[in-house]
Amino acid sequence: MALTKERIKEKLTEKFGEQLTDWQEPYGLLTCTAPKDFNLKVLQFLFDDDELQFRFLSDLQAVHYPDNAGAELAVVYHLHNLVDNIRLRLKVFTSVLQPDVYSATALYQSANFMERETYDFYGVNFVGHPNLKRILNVDEMDYFPMRKEFPLEDQTRIDKDDDMFGR
C-alpha cells in the first residue's frame, strides 16, 4: 500500500501531537512546522519509521522573515521518501538573536554542506555540526548577506541617472 499524505500526517500527529503545527499543502507538498528543539526528534522519527522512510534530505535552506519578531529565521528541510516517491517539508523557526538549531548531519550526511551554506548566508548556528564555517564567503565577513537587514540600493548615490533605469 502506497504511503499517502494523510497517513504521514496521522503518524506524525500520533507521535508528536500538538507539537507539529501549521499543516499545509502548498502546490501539493505536505508541510508542517515543528519547534526548533524538536527538529532532530521529528527528523529521526521520519528516518527510522518503517512506514515513513524519509531517508533522503533533498534540500535544506533558511528564509529570513524580518517582521516575524522572535522567529525571524526559518530553517526548511525538504525530505524525500524514495520508496513511495513522496515528499515532505518541515520548518523550524528561530530568533535572529539566538539562531541555534540542532544539526542534522548525524542523520543525513547531505546536510553537511547545506548547513554550512545556510550558516554562511543566514547565520543559523547548527549546534553539533562537525565543521561549521563559511563555505562560499570570506571568513572575514561579519554579517550574513541573505538576511533582509540592508537596503537594496544606496539612496544617496549621485553617480546614477535614474532615467536610464526607467524610473
pLDDT in tens, 4-13: 999 999 999 9
Full domain range(s) for residue 89: 5-97
Q: 106: buried, middle or exposed (CB in 10 Å: 19+, 13-18, 0-12)? A: middle
Query: Over 80: is that where the pLDDT of 94 sits?
Result: yes
**Residue at grid coordinates 512546522:** 33
Of 29-43, 49-63, 78-92, 153-167, the range with the lowest mean pLDDT is 153-167
The CATH number of the domain holding residue 71 is 3.30.460.80
Q: Tell me if 129 is assigned to some domain.
A: no
Return the higher-pLDDT residue of 166 and 23: 23
Q: Tell me if 26 is assigned to some domain.
A: yes
Q: Tell me if 105 is assigned to some domain.
A: no
Q: Tell me if 46 is assigned to some domain.
A: yes
Task: Give pLDDT, residue 149.
Answer: 85
**What mean pLDDT is reported for the chain?**
92
pLDDT band at 165 (very low <50, low <70, confident <90, very high): low
Average pLDDT over residues 56-72: 96
Number of domains in the chain: 1
Average pLDDT over residues 83-97: 97
C-alpha separations of 92 from 16, 66, 86, 108, 138 in Å: 14, 15, 20, 17, 27
Task: Give pLDDT, residue 156.
Answer: 72
Query: Over 90: is that where the pLDDT of 166 sits?
Result: no
* Highest mean pLDDT pick, 58-62, 146-150, 153-157: 58-62
CA dihedral 115, 46, 108, 83 (to 10 degrees): -120
Q: Tell me if 35 is assigned to some domain.
A: yes
Q: Tell me if 14 is assigned to some domain.
A: yes
pTM: 0.89
